[in-house]
Each structure stands twice: as structure tokens, then as C-alpha cells.
Amino acid sequence: MRMQKFGVALLVASLLLVGCSNSQSNRATESQNRPLASLPQPKLPAIFGDNMVLQRNNPIRFWGTAQPGQVVSVKVAENRGSTTAGAHGKWNLQLAPVPAGGPYEVTITGGAEPIVYRNVMVGEVWVCSGQSNMEFGLRGASNAQQAIDSATNPNLRLFTVKKAQSDIPATDCVGQWTPSTPDAATSFSAVGYFFGKELQASLNVPVGLIHTSWGGTPIEVWTSRTVFDREAENQPFLEQYAKRKAEYPEALEKYLKAMQTFKNEQAKAKAEGKPAPKQPNRPQPPMAPSCLYNAMIAPLVPYSIGGAIWYQGESNAGRAIEYRKQFPAMIQNWRADFDQDFPFLFVQLANYTKREDQPSDPAWAWLREAQTMTLSTPKTGMAVIIDIGEANDIHPKNKADVGKRLALAAEAVAYGQKIVYSGPMYESMRIDGDRIVLKFRDIGGGLMARDGANLTGFAIAGSDKKFVWADARIDGETVVVSAAGLGQ
């Protein structure tokens, strides 16, 4: 009896499965057989649009949604391809690579009316991401007005991802492509703009920049949750986030009460002709792990790109040891999700805060070391800017040189040009009596001090491990460091 019931159950289940399969197949056939005039237009994410730049010499990727079974076709220049939307309405396709050029029209068909994107260029596409020093707009940079006035460049295209957070990977973002003009460039990332300007002039091809950054953010929010959970170093951040999330409602309630008090005191001060009191700061809700990756990186995947530039680290300076693994893991995370082994270039933190009277062990130095260690990851490059920061400003205004140095790194790392793009990099050391001899690589035509000045910033310790400021001089391809009265 049990066997009979079991057999009947299997038979019913089989019939249901066949019925579902036939039903899905029938819906697909119906969609394909319906006249185009009755079909809705396919939908594509915001990264596709007028004025966009498509990556040259790489397969060009398109994706979006349509009715299940709906046939979607895409044409770029003389390249065209078709695909069919799956059971959940998703579709994607790749077109053969196209060399740099344009302007082109991109045509997507499959619905009642074709979708046409106009003034499309093919060239180099770079993602610009990080925290506030990447977000820093061109309007605030040194010599901003001069840069803004000369920003008109039809071969430089800009796209800014609107700030957003998400608990799960999003499928779209808010933003639009625009050619570089004074109006468009003024609020765009200054580092990104100067990088793109230099790269466009050097390569003489169209360049598209996708700016996606958010000030004050740690690397943990830019990493996918899959990778975040895999790294044990990230667990303290998760615990901190849970604690701050639990404390936020109380902090917000205190702020709202403080604001009411402020308004009352402000009105009283105005009536009495006295200075207004200081307004309380609104507490910011904590950012969840991966929330910016989900909302501001995932919607770009898998757009074909030439590379990424990154300016971040200030918010991780107190956790530099963890950063040694977090940063390379994030780079590999992005590459895996985009399914592209693209070059990744980053900015080492600038000098910030005044020089100490005695050698110290600052958190930013540890973070710079973690960034330098990331160069062991293939296809990476680093722009050193410790000479152009501002001791009293965490947001140095000289963004032009930052962009230029990143562009030099791109020319070497991404495009294989045989140029000197990096400052001297430490290679090895040896102890020679009461001196330490440091050897460097990437020295170009040789080591030199700017304007012939004496070398500064070197410290040395003896057996007591107490560091003191040291004398340093260039000796050929080495730097010799010593301190009077200091033995081994």
C-alpha cells in the first residue's frame, strides 16, 4: 500500500514538472510569436545611455530585463548580437570588441519601439572610487576656476553614481553620462577629472569616468558581503556596527531633544540681540558592511572597463594590520565580480598633521605600509603623494598632481608604456658599522632631493630600539642614514 501511494505521488510530481516546463516553454514561444508592437521595450540599467563610453578592444557587455522569452538585439557600429530573456526576464549579451572611435548610435530592439543611445564613444573606461578625497569636487581644488573654464572636452565623458545604500546587491543606480563641460566638471571628482584629462591627452582616445565614492567610509562597506564574511579580520567591524546600530535610536532621540532646545535658545537669543547658540550635530546612522558595494558598485557589474582608481584609507588608519588583507581582497572581489582582470591603481595617503618633535609611530604610517604591501597584487600601481599633502587639512587641494601621478601609473601598468611612473621604492637595507645603507628601485636617472635640499624625515634606532632623527645623504643609488653617537 505504501509503495502504491509512493508511486502515485511520483507520477503526480512528474506530471506537475512536465506541466510547469511546458507552461514556461509555451510562454516563451508566445512572447517570441507576438508582434513587436505589442511587446514592452527591454529595460537597461542607467549605466547605459546617451554620451556613454564603451570599453575599446574588449567584449562589449549589455544586460537588462524584458518579458520572459522576448528576443533582444543590440547593434554598435557594425557589430550586432541577439539573445533571449530567460524565465525571470533577465538577458545579457556580449558584442565583439570595437576599436576606439565614434560617435556611434547604439540601437536596442525587441519591443514596440527601438531604444537608441546617441553620441556614444568607444575608448577607455575607468571606475573612480573611494572616500572623501576621491569625492572632493573640482570646484574645491587648487586653481579650480582655471581648470573649470578649460573643462570642455567632448572626448572626456563623466558619470557620477548617486549616493545610496543597500542591504542586498542592487541591479541599478541613479546617474547619467555627460560630456565634460565646465558645468559638468565643477562638481565631479577632482582626482578623477584630472586623471581622465591626462589619460585622454596621452592616449588620444575617448575616456569615460564612472565616479562612485562616499566620504568618511571604510573599506568594509565597499566589499561584497560574500568576501566580507570570508575574512576573519572583518568580524570586529561587524561587532562595532551591531553596537552602533543598537545605540543609534538613543543618540537620535538625544539629538532631537537637543534640537528643540537649540531652537528655543536661538529664538530667545535673536529676540535679545545675542549671538545664536551652536547647533547640535545630527548623528549619522552606521553603515552596514557591504552597503555601498551593493548600491554603488554592484549595479555597474559587468560593464566592460579598462581599470579602476581608488583613494581611500583615512577611515581605516586605526586598523592598518587588517587592511593588509582587506585591500587586496577587495581588489580581487571587484575583479571577480566584473569578470575582468583590470588594472587597479590607488593613492597612498598624503602627509597629514604636523611633524612631531620626536619620531613617533603614527597610524597613518602603518596604513601607508599596508597600501604599499598591496603592490604585491598583480596589475596594481600606487601614486605616492606624501610630498603634496597639507599638515592642517585632511583634504589637500592639490588634486591635479594626484590625477597626473595616477595617469602615469596607468600608462605604465595598464598600457605597457616604458616610463618612470613611480618615485623611489625601498628595496633593501644593510648595516655598515654605525650606518644603515638603504637601496631603492624605480629611481629613473638616479636619486635626487627636491631643489637640492637636505634629506629629511629619516629616523634610526640603536639596540635600545628608541628612534631619533637621523642624518641622511644620497650616495649613488643608495641613501646612507646615521645619527651622531648612535651605535648598533
Q: Which helix (H) or strand (E) holds 380?
A: strand 380-383
- CA-closest candidate to residue 298, choices 393, 401, 216, 222: 222
| Whole-number pLDDT of residue 6 | 33
Residues of the chain with pLDDT under 70: 1-38, 487-488
Pure H helices in 273-378: 291-292, 320-338, 363-373
Are the C-beta atoms of 100 and 342 separated by less than 8 Å? no
Whole-number Å distance between alpha carbons of 399 and 389: 10
Q: Name residues whose C-beta falls within 8 Å of residue 470's C-beta, 6 or more positions apart in sequence.
A: 458, 459, 460, 481, 482, 483, 486
Contacts by residues 452-457 (CB-CB < 8 Å, ≥ 24 positions apart): 455/479
Q: Annotate 196-250 with DSSP letters as a single string.
A: HHHHHHHH-S-EEEEEEE-TT--GGGGS-HHHHHH-GGGHHHHHHHHHHHHHHHH
Cross-strand bridge partners of residue 159: 177, 210
CATH 2.60.40.10 boundaries in the chain: 38-121
**Under CATH, to which class is 38-121 assigned?**
mainly beta
| For the chain, the helix, strand and coil percentages under 3-state DSSP, each to the nearest 5 | 40, 25, 40
Are the C-beta atoms of 213 and 320 separated by less than 8 Å? no
- CA-closest candidate to residue 154, choices 200, 188, 190: 200
> Locate cell 510547469: which residue?
20
| Whole-number pLDDT of residue 487 | 55
Are the C-beta atoms of 209 and 134 separated by less than 8 Å? no
Are the C-beta atoms of 311 and 134 separated by less than 8 Å? yes
Are the C-beta atoms of 88 and 21 separated by less than 8 Å? no
CATH 3.40.50.1110 boundaries in the chain: 137-233+286-413
Domain with residues 137-233+286-413, CATH architecture: 3-Layer(aba) Sandwich (3.40)
Between β-strands 153-160 and 115-130, what pairing exists: parallel, antiparallel or unpaired? unpaired
Are the C-beta atoms of 310 and 348 separated by less than 8 Å? no
What's the pTM value of the predicted model, to 2 decimals?
0.89
378's grid cell? 598583480
| Whole-number pLDDT of residue 485 | 72
| Whole-number pLDDT of residue 356 | 81
Whole-number Å distance between alpha carbons of 188 and 128: 11
